[in-house]
Amino acid sequence: MLTPKHIAIIMDGNGRWAQEKGLERLEGHAAGVHSVLRSVQACIDQGVSYLTLYAFSTENWKRSQEEVSGLMLLLGESLMKYLPDFMEKGIRLNVIGDMAALPEEVCEKLNLVREETKSNETIVLTLALNYGSRDEILRATRKLMQSAIDGDLKPEDLSEDLIADALDTFAIPDPELLIRTSGEMRLSNFLLWQVSYSEFISTAQYWPDFDETSIKEAIAIFNTRQRRFGGRL
């Protein structure tokens, strides 16, 4: 069985999971943290080298202040709580998105965990935080335009590789497999450049119910796909 080198997941359904159980939305997000841990371990077990999770989008700021504050608190607490696990399992933390808008305390913890785990080699866990693909492409375009203004880049030198290198994901390969939970069938402004040829799987499971078996089933489905990349059989 072929294992994708890089899996990306749009984690969706925490709030609906909580609502159906008569719980607060933040309890759904807390349950979702455990799914993150299960999924990372499952990817390690399956030999996946990169796992990217859509954790907080640029659009998520529109949620209530209570929910946003609770999410940021949960993120900071989880980073510190599970840092020992990251070190034991060889998980390297990576972050994509515009961190400038995140709370200072969260940024400090993210930077601490990134620094502590930078030599780990088992798997790269990328969290997309304050991330939106259009924003990412806009920021990349501005960098390239500045290079042109500075005289370091000519229009005829622009290439797909140069654009890719200007994106937040310059250090990781494009995902072969993109998974979205909760049955939704849209990308929601996630990795629009990078998933051009990714295989897409939507599962009806809410994110807190996503587990090791879910990863295995997704990889099995991936192996039934014929990846043509625009070509013919």
Q: Which amino acid is at 182?
A: S
The one catalytic residue in 14, 45, 60, 111 is: 60
- The mean pLDDT values, 10 residues at a time, for the chain of 233 residues are 95 96 96 97 98 97 95 97 98 97 96 98 98 98 96 94 97 97 97 97 97 97 84 54
Q: What tokens appear for 34 in the block? A: 């455990």
Residue 46's pLDDT is 97
Residue 26's pLDDT is 94
| pTM, rounded to two decimals | 0.95
Q: How far apart are CA 99 and CA 12, in angstroms?
A: 21
174 is catalytic: no
Residue 132's pLDDT is 98
12 is catalytic: yes
Residue 230's pLDDT is 65
Ordered domains of the chain (ranges, CATH) = 6-132+174-222 (3.40.1180.10)
